[in-house]
A and B are shown apart, each in its own frame.
Chain A
Amino acid sequence: DTGVSQDPRHKITKRGQNVTFRCDPISEHNRLYWYRQTLGQGPEFLTYFQNEAQLEKSRLLSDRFSAERPKGSFSTLEIQRTEQGDSAMYLCASSPERTHSTDTQYFGPGTRLTVL
């Protein structure tokens, strides 16, 4: 297994366009997380899936943002009507769910979004 992968690595779009990012977690990891990271900041939690169920959403996740994980494997994050303030690195992480484990997360390389 090669780790968490994200596609695309970079996306440049014009304000008002829709964008979709994909995350492929480590196989058999049933937890998947999306974060946003802006320059000089730590990752900010956006949403979290356990298998296909979206269990938690941050208040940062406005109604323009939607995430899915239809089969409990890969996930997509869509941003509709992008705004310049959406420019950031979007990080995906996965973790196994094991009793008495650290539930440590393994991060992908991120998708850098630039909204012009």
Chain B
Amino acid sequence: GEDVEQSLFLSVREGDSSVINCTYTDSSSTYLYWYKQEPGAGLQLLTYIFSNMDMKQDQRLTVLLNKKDKHLSLRIADTQTGDSAIYFCAESNYGQNFVFGPGTRLSVLP
């Protein structure tokens, strides 16, 4: 079946850039997403990218997609302590068959 993998932990210093990586297996994925989950809270959609795009930028967030390698990354510029959370990569096929990764816990050190 489909699988989404992520590294589990990332630590960065405040002000640095964070890069969270994700790989997926389903070549029929049409949309790829990044969600943020803070402690005790639900998942918040951060950004998404359609599978025919290579890059999408949204303020401090940059998403890069390498469809050939099935690799997705999320770059957070000027990382702040408020960015500390768990980040989930997810894929879907036209809004069906959503598959989430295990999440990457981002810790931002002062």
> Which residues of A approach B to under 8 Å, CB–CB?
4, 31, 33, 35, 40-45, 48, 55-56, 91, 93, 95, 97, 101-110
Partner of B101, one of A42, A97, A103, A110: A42
Are A107 and B43 within 8 A (Cβ)? yes
Distance of A108 Cα from B35 Cα, bound (Å): 13
Partner of B41, one of A97, A103, A109: A109
Stretch of B12-20, B59-67, B72-80, B87-95 on the interface side: B87-95
Partner of A103, one of B43, B44, B92, B100: B92
Partner of B99, one of A45, A103, A104, A105: A45
When A43-B43, A48-B96, A91-B43 are in contact, do A102 and B102 touch as well, CB less than 8 Å?
no
Partner of B95, one of A35, A43, A97: A97
Q: How far is the CB of B20 from chain A (nearest CB, A)?
A: 13
The SS class assigned to the B binding surface is strand
Q: Residue among A4, A91, A104 with the most chain B CB within 10 A? A: A104
Are A45 and B98 within 8 A (Cβ)? yes
> Could you write out 7 A-B pairs with CB less than 8 Å apart?
A42-B90, A44-B100, A56-B96, A93-B43, A95-B95, A107-B45, A110-B42
Chain B hits for A43, CB < 8 A: 43, 88, 100
Are A103 and B94 within 8 A (Cβ)? yes
Distance of A69 Cα from B97 Cα, bound (Å): 19
Are B88 and A103 within 8 A (Cβ)? no
Chain B hits for A102, CB < 8 A: 31, 48, 50, 95
Chain A hits for B96, CB < 8 A: 48, 55-56
Partner of B48, one of A4, A42, A104: A104
Distance of A91 Cα from B90 Cα, bound (Å): 15
